[in-house]
Amino acid sequence: MSNDTSTIAPPEGSIISNAETRAANLTTSKSSEVPATKQFAVNATGNLFIATTLNGGDADTATISEEAEEAFGQVSVFFAAMTKAMSEAGVSLYDHDAINKLVSASGLFVKVTESKVFFESSQWGLTFGNQLIQALFGLSGNLASIGKSLMDMIAGMGKESITISSDTSGKKTKVGTIVFVCEYILGMISITPIVISVDAKDAAGTWKAGPCFKAQHQKNQINILKSVYLFVPPSFIKEAAALNEAMSDPEFNNLVESMKSVISVDTAAPEVSRSKPPKPDQKKDPEPGKK
């Protein structure tokens, strides 16, 4: 991208996109495409989000597929087993180290992205919770219905951060939680677990062991580590056999090899030889004394 302030003439035949053309497109476009709207619900602990583009209607179009029901059900079973295991192991549901171990050992998670979120808000209580969920999960709109569940989760992380920060052993430094975002979008199934974590000592300065943040804080600032995964339900793993069989098919491999040969071809123009062209054969004069 050029920082030159001089005017650059677009090449002939270019599609021009500037402030004027974009404004004109907005006012003259007759496109009927509209984004699908999502409805969502959350469980009592705030760890399971279900979102769908099904917005009511008749019974034939307002129900999710059996495959989606099975996949989402397996997520619920996994989370229930995870909660039971952590409880029986004597660790908190907000123990970041335990969550990481379970995610890594299960073989059902694939990390996609990891990002740092600096969250700042002058609000507290349910308003703070709504802002936080918008920042972390990209949901918007009327979030009041899930505010209570989210605040219970936030309060749990706050209580755990205070417990950890007061522990002089220093074995644990982070608190966290996992949220499974289960989406059924226009017939497509997507399960995205999100693990969020914060430094316990930093969080303890803002949180208190209660249902909301300290109201006297003028501004709350939290550094949050957000790790996004893909979750592969056990029912989907059997599909790997079909994929493996297809990838082993000789015709498929021939197609791959054909594509590789196209990529490997040197398309650069051959260099023009700088050597002088050979001279035509000439009869040499016989040496003196020879005929």
Q: Cα–Cα distance between 184 and 64 in angstroms, integer?
A: 7
Number of alpha carbons in the 13 Å side-chain half-sphere of residue 207? 28
Q: Identify the pLDDT of residue 157.
A: 78
For residue 18 the two structure tokens come to 């500037």
Q: Cα–Cα distance between 212 and 204 in angstroms, integer?
A: 13
Between β-strands 220-231 and 48-52, what pairing exists: parallel, antiparallel or unpaired? unpaired
Residues sharing a CB contact under 8 Å with residue 140, sequence separation 6 or more, in sequence order: 134
Spell out, as residue ranges, where the chain has pLDDT lower than 50: 2, 56-59, 209-212
Q: Identify the pLDDT of residue 98.
A: 92
For residue 28 the two structure tokens come to 């003259």
Q: Are 219 and 98 in contact (CB under 8 A)?
A: no
For residue 81 the two structure tokens come to 């087993």
Q: Identify the pLDDT of residue 33.
A: 64
Q: Identify the pLDDT of residue 58.
A: 47
The four Cα atoms 69, 104, 152, 181 give a dihedral, to 10 degrees, of -30
